[in-house]
Amino acid sequence: MVSFFPTPYPDELLYSVIARYHTRSGNRSFRQTDIDLFNYPSQQAAKVILSNNLDYLVNNFPIGSKQTKENLIQNHTLYPFYATFLTATEAWVVKDLMIKKVNSSLLQAARIAHTHTEDSRKFFRFCPLCLEKDTQIYGETYWHRINQTPGVLVCPIHATALHDSLVSLDAIGIHYHAASSENCPLGSNSTTYLDETLQKLLMFAKDIEWLVNSCYLPFQGMAWLRKQYQSYLTRQSFLKIYSKNKFTFNSHSFASHFLEFYGTEFLEKINPILIKKPETYLTNCLLACDVNPLIDRVMHLLLINFLVGSIKDFFSSNV
């Protein structure tokens, strides 16, 4: 049992709480911190976004701690984001793996790529205004979960472009770096956007924030999603279905409408790979999403927003 464990701040990533524990513990190595908290040095790549062995962690908390696994998972990991687009059974498996000391791959169960391909993230991100506010209120800053969520490039609270910190997201080996003014320098690593792009990024960040803060919204699976796409594409005349296996999809027209709707700058920032071959990329996401073992959640959210008009309406109406 550990003698203390920091209380998580609002929307603080569990990784960040552990990093603050590491700093205060005086441990010389990250490995020692892992042994204190989890009883073994973990090497798993998902620890920044989806921690595991939470059963052990919570049971190891100081006497009197009211912290629960459920609260940590729902409010301090990216589980609510990654549960999106998973069926109830798939989401249950991911949560179960987070609670246990697992050997099987959590990333595989959550259908996440081992590299952060969903967007261009390479570093932990921070909002300069959140940093200032945290320091005033708490005397220190921390890694906010929403700012590390794929697709979020603008702080949904302050409408400010997020900055890259100096802490790499790559999870090679063990690391617990608490956010600080040293690794979150102001005035460098900043990105500026055109006003129109900033507004679109803000709306998208708010939609993602809504998803992350909603309780799990039951999802009927990727084959169901493909059928939904087919239905919207047909209604909007991008797709013509002749028989069960015979159809024509006007990928060129779809890609140009999609690019015009979001704008090149927005899409380049959100997904630099898409912009290189938009027709192929979008066709795969729309019509082959159920054969891909990985789920490109950010792209599906963009597609839903484009085709349906509202991410909230889509998820709320299919509960």
Q: How far is the CB of 129 from Zn ion (least distance, A)?
A: 5
Q: Is 155 in the site for Zn ion (CB under 5 A)?
A: yes
Helix-strand-coil percent breakdown of the chain, rounded to 5? 50, 5, 45
Tokens of 245: 């296996």
Q: Is 157 in the site for Zn ion (CB under 5 A)?
A: yes
Q: How far is the CB of 317 from Zn ion (least distance, A)?
A: 31
Write the CB contacts of 173 (distance below 8 Å, at least 6 apart in sequence): 30, 43
Please tell me the distance from the alpha carbon of residue 214 to that of residue 137, in angstroms, as a whole number. Answer: 26
| Number of residues located near Zn ion, criterion CB under 5 A | 6
Q: How far is the CB of 265 from Zn ion (least distance, A)?
A: 21
Q: Per CB under 5 A, which region of 68-76, 118-126, 128-136, 203-211 contacts Zn ion? A: 128-136
C-alpha dist (Å) from residue 81 to 50, 78, 176, 208: 10, 5, 22, 8
C-alpha dist (Å) from residue 266 to 156, 164, 255: 16, 17, 14
Tokens of 198: 């900033």
Among 127, 270, 282, 295, binds Zn ion (CB under 5 A): 127
Among 14, 94, 107, 130, binds Zn ion (CB under 5 A): 130
Among 1, 88, 113, 129, binds Zn ion (CB under 5 A): 129
Q: Is 184 in the site for Zn ion (CB under 5 A)?
A: no
Q: How far is the CB of 148 from Zn ion (least distance, A)?
A: 13
Q: How far is the CB of 16 from Zn ion (least distance, A)?
A: 15
Please tell me the distance from the alpha carbon of residue 183 to that of residue 177, in angstroms, as a whole number. Answer: 9
User: Which residue lies nearer to Zn ion by CB, 100 or 158?
Assistant: 158
Interface residue list for Zn ion (CB under 5 A): 127, 129-130, 155, 157-158
